[in-house]
Amino acid sequence: MGGFVPIPERTDEVARAVVDCVFRIHSRLGPGLLESVYEECLCYELRKRGLAYSRQLEVPVTYEEIRMETGFRLDVLVEDLVIVEIKAVAEMQPVFETTTLTYLKMTGKRLALLINFHVPFIKDGIRRIIR
């Protein structure tokens, strides 16, 4: 039976950079805006740091003999390593984490950040999800 495999250092570095961006955005804008605003600002911050990203990335899903070109959409995929799912909700629901974990499984990625900007202190709105 296999044990836990550590997250690669580069993946961890990218995740830390994303969290830094999130703290910067939240400190300037605070809670209460639309998810799309936070997503746009995150992509701006990533671009400033020279990090590659894909936004609203359509991911196909195959089930037996059928292929759905848009099985789901990732909010942001950073450096082809870290999935970032953005929320701006009063209360996080367990289904958000479940869905994000499914995204990790379906893409083969190891690490996702589930970010809820609708919190007074952003540290309380960051969930690190590992597969």
Q: Is 50 left (phi over 0), alpha (psi -120 to 50) or beta?
A: left
Domain of 30 in residue numbering reads as 9-130
- The CA-atom distances, in angstroms, between 80 and each of 1, 3, 34, 52, 126 are 28, 24, 25, 8, 20
The residue-averaged pLDDT of 25-32 equals 98
Give the CATH number, domain containing residue 24. 3.40.960
Q: Is 2 within a domain?
A: no
> So what's the pLDDT on residue 55?
98
Q: How many domains does the structure of the chain reveal?
A: 1
> So what's the pLDDT on residue 1?
52
- Residue 2 confidence (pLDDT) above 90: no
Q: Is 4 within a domain?
A: no
